[in-house]
A and B are shown apart, each in its own frame.
Chain A
Amino acid sequence: EAQVTQNPRYLITVTGKKLTVTCSQNMNHEYMSWYRQDPGLGLRQIYYSMNVEVTDKGDVPEGYKVSRKEKRNFPLILESPSPNQTSLYFCASSLRTGYEQYFGPGTRLTVT
Chain B
Amino acid sequence: GDSVTQMEGPVTLSEEACLTINCTYTATGYPSLFWYVQYPGEGLQLLLKATKADDKGSNKGFEATYRKETTSFHLEKGSVQVSDSAVYFCALRPMGGGSNYKLTFGKGTLLTVNP
Q: Known: A41-B107, A43-B105. Is A103-B44 also a contact (CB below 8 A)?
A: yes
Q: How many residues on the A side are at the interface (Cβ–Cβ under 8 A)?
A: 26
Smallest distance from the beta carbon of A82 to chain B beta carbons, Å?
23
Q: State the main secondary structure of chain B at its contact with A.
A: loop
A98 and B101 contacting across the interface, CB-CB below 8 Å: yes
Residue of A nearest to B49 (CB): A100
A90 and B44 contacting across the interface, CB-CB below 8 Å: yes
Q: Known: A42-B108, A104-B43. Is A33-B101 also a contact (CB below 8 A)?
A: yes
Residue of B nearest to A58 (CB): B102
CA distance A44 to B107 in the complex (A): 10
A97 and B100 contacting across the interface, CB-CB below 8 Å: yes
Select which of B45, B101, B108 is within 8 A of A103 by beta carbon. Answer: B45
CA distance A4 to B97 in the complex (A): 23
A97 and B46 contacting across the interface, CB-CB below 8 Å: no
B103 and A101 contacting across the interface, CB-CB below 8 Å: yes
